[in-house]
Amino acid sequence: MKAAVAGASGYAGGELLRLLLAHPGLDIGTLTAGSSAGGTLGEHQPHLPALADRVIEETSPETLGGHDVVFLALPHGQSAAIANRLGPDTLIVDCGADFRLDSAADWAEFYGGPHAGTWPYGLPELPGQRAVLAAATRIAVPGCYPTSVTLGMFPAFAAGLVEPDVVVVAASGTSGAGRSPKASLLGSEVMGSVSAYGVGGTHRHTPEMTQNLSAVAGRPVTVSFTPTLAPMSRGILATCTAPAAPGLTRARLREAYQEILKDEPFVTLLPEGSWPATAMTLGANTAALQVTLDERAGRVVVVVAIDNLTKGTAGGAIQSANLALGLPEELGLPTTGVSP
């Protein structure tokens, strides 16, 4: 089967290609981009020498047609135009935000403009979602922060262990902000510094977290979300906490997480006493997770580490695509990180 990648010169596109190069079930077809079209991939992704001489084409329905799967790693708002022109025979996996949100009101508030619609949500670990994805021809890949937070908190809500008032503070590497040059993302600015941004519930990933956790909880969940930028290229460490349900014990909490996550190929509940570090997951399609109960504060605390470009974007995209294409879910996806 053949895969096209739109947005091949960016960070998400580069990670898709890195993973596809090692994927035994998918060949790499057309590569497209916007302003980089016409050049070779080697100019933009020198870490992928096997594709160095591939020419980047314009992103259009024509160049992307004729593939079994098309991965879109485009700026927000550009996916619908492409998707409308590709028939249901082509699986489309959108790494952008366009089709993630159910609520048109949330879309309008956080992204602005008309809501393009809602596609099956590419987080196979959510209850019942594997069946949905197996039948999908369109997939909305979750945002990187929502991937980490949803993986961390859905077991607690599924098992009814917490109150619906979540606080999340997450640190992200800079690749999450993309490859467009901005002064605030210069190495000189980010090295040696951790900074906050999008504070006070204004970050666009907030309604996506609320949507996911409310669906699992079966009632409205609020999320206070604060993202921070850390001096590293890759990785998200999300600290999630919510009030413990009355009577919750640490043993019951751990048991529930173990039970719910025990067959997940890409989510690791760490041994007790060990806490996640993003380095555990660098370059891997894995989430490293730990959970505890702070009895004094009466709160469940979950910490989750992922690689924002792998499990948080490109790996998650391929994992869902595998399901939709009838391939083994784990095919071609690394569970081994690159460390130190």
**Interacting residue with a copy of itself among 75, 222, 264, 331 (CB under 8 A):** 222
Q: Which is nearer to a copy of itself, 89 or 295 (CB)?
A: 295
The contact pattern for a copy of itself, residues 189-208, with x = CB under 8 A and - = no contact, is: xxxxxxxxx-xxx----x--
* Phi-psi label, residue 287: left if phi above 0, alpha if psi -120 to 50, beta otherwise: beta
Strand partners, 294: 299
Rule CB under 8 A: is residue 308 a binding residue for a copy of itself? no
Structure tokens at 198: 């999008």
Q: What are the Cα distances from residue 83, in Å, to 62, 92, 281, 315?
A: 11, 7, 32, 21
CB 210 to a copy of itself: min, Å: 8
Please state, in angstroms and rounded to a whole number, the distance separating the CA atoms of residues 15 and 12: 5
Which of 231, 252, 254, 264 binds a copy of itself (CB under 8 A)? It is 231
Q: By CB under 8 A, is residue 303 in contact with a copy of itself?
A: yes
Beta bridge partners of 315: none
Q: Which of 101, 144, 261, 284 binds a copy of itself (CB under 8 A)?
A: 284
CB atoms within 10 A of CB 105: 11
For residue 333, state whether it binds a copy of itself (rule: CB under 8 A): no
Is 144 labeled as catalytic in the residue annotation? yes
DSSP line for 117-159: ----B--TTSTTHHHHHHT-SEEEPPPHHHHHHHHHHHHHHHT
Catalytic-role residue among 6, 139, 144, 158: 144
- Shortest Å, Cβ 320 to a copy of itself: 21
Segment near a copy of itself (CB under 8 A), from 76-84, 111-119, 148-156, 171-179?
171-179
Q: Does 7 bind a copy of itself (CB under 8 A)?
A: no
Strand partners, 305: 237, 288
Q: Is 14 in the site for a copy of itself (CB under 8 A)?
A: yes
Q: Does residue 37 interact with a copy of itself by CB under 8 A?
A: no
List, by residue number, the catalytic residues.
144
